[in-house]
Structure 1
């Protein structure tokens, strides 16, 4: 499988997973133009996978459907996605010629957010980012933490394909929380080098995220100590660690 990240808007990625014989699955095409440009170079879409209802992830679908009227679209069960599509949810399996994806419910960023896992790739939208996680627009800390734990339990070689190029900004916050983490320091340097050459910093390998991402390490002593210092007391549990870490990140300024 060949994976390509098509840049869209300021920092979005439209993921393209291409089979050896040519057809490709598109993930979260918030903008049609990058896909249409790729099609002019030979891209043949086989299907669209949508992770959640935000317009920067679904906004290009209508125009793409005008180009390819029979293109199947898979989306979560959410009335805010007003498209003709096949609704999928937890436990479903998307089967296409040459492709197979398991559907995972990962609420938190939105209440109906899903992820697609297949071919060692995790398309997780705005739930998990490299060195960070999504904001909780609709879910609770307990829901978001449960979703992140679920993703953290996937095979360590899984390629984490998230929806935005946020790694450098996330690295600054992660280093603030966990300044002595050598693996995190290496990942930050790697990401800086990638961006200096205009390369995407994702996909990230899950094994690396488990070492570096503070939102996947809410039980780690260094993260707990940092949150305790901020709270002025020991946190009651990992949900509170996560909730305070997310609040901290929401208000963080470099």
Structure 2
């Protein structure tokens, strides 16, 4: 018999950060994925009655960790963070690296090191639940800005997501979907799946909701950065069809930076 799916709550933090709580219904254990600010996390915990046991940190940037001390004081949650973040993440109890396993009750997640946005970034892949917490590596219709590495490093990290099943739910750290959709349409204006997704993003914005989670299948069909293997994207950045996908990605990311 398959294990029950985890319960998930997503909510806005700061101006465009996405807060996520994941609860294991079998044990009651509950994790926050990053803590951009304390108040929204504590509010949702109060509304749901969930007991926070864990905080899973994707990377050390302030807009993902600044609420940790207050939330830990209020809940006693265990803080798991990338080992490569060193002392930059407060209140760390467990440091993790590539190949480690994290547990939230009976839910088990694999740690991937996914550098590119920053050197310490990790992703948490809960295989049995069909969920991946991508932080600022992969966004709905986009990807993170390259900050601490050659852009090819981020491309290598993104290729790991391409191996996941289409139904995998992707939870990312920000809601940038409207700006991402505008860029994606500029890069691939004839993509019918993308046109429909952009219209969906506009509806979601009008209805005060966001398209997180997405799925790998949707992102594979619409996200230009995951589609760097496609001839249409190579042509969009003045490269020949069949060009090295890493080179296409680098050109796309540079274009997005100027967009």
TM-score (norm 2): 0.92
Q: Distance in 2 between matches of 1:235 and 1:28?
A: 38
Q: Provide the residue aligned with 1:63 in structure 2.
A: 70
- Mind listing any 5+ residue stretches in structure 2 that lack a counterpart? 1-5
Alpha-carbon distance in 2 for matches of 1:112, 1:164: 18
Structure 2 equivalent of residue 50 of structure 1:
57
Is the 1:218–1:224 contact (alpha carbons within 8 Å) kept by the matching residues of 2? yes
Give the 3-state SS of the residue equivalent to 1:216 in structure 2. Answer: coil
1:16 equivalent in structure 2: 21
In structure 2, C-alpha distance between the alignment counterparts of 1:111 and 1:204, rounded to whole Å: 25
Q: In 1, Cα distance between the equivalents of 2:41 and 2:51?
A: 10
Q: 2:101 aligns with which of 93, 114, 123?
A: 93
Map of 1:123 onto structure 2: 133
CA distances 1:140-172 after superposition (whole Å, capped 9, x unpaired): 122111100111111111101000011111000
Among residues 133, 137, 141, which one is paired with 2:143 in the alignment?
A: 133
Quick check: 1:227–1:235 contact (8 Å CA) kept in 2?
no
State how many pairs are aligned. 248
1:190 aligns with 2:200: yes
- Asked if structure 2 preserves the Cα contact closer than 8 Å seen for 1:235 and 1:241, the reply is no
- The 3-state SS of whatever aligns with 1:124 is strand
**What is the CA-CA distance between 1:234 and the residue it aligns to?**
7.7
Alpha-carbon distance in structure 2 between the residues aligned to 1:45 and 1:163: 19
Residue 102 of structure 1 pairs with residue 110 of structure 2: yes
1:25 equivalent in structure 2: 31
1:65-86 CA-partner distances (Å, limit 9, x unpaired): 11123x1111001122243320
Q: How far, CA to CA, are the matches of 2:241 and 2:213 in structure 1?
A: 35
Residue deviations 1:37-67 (CA, integer Å, cap 9, x gap): 1222212112110000001111111001111
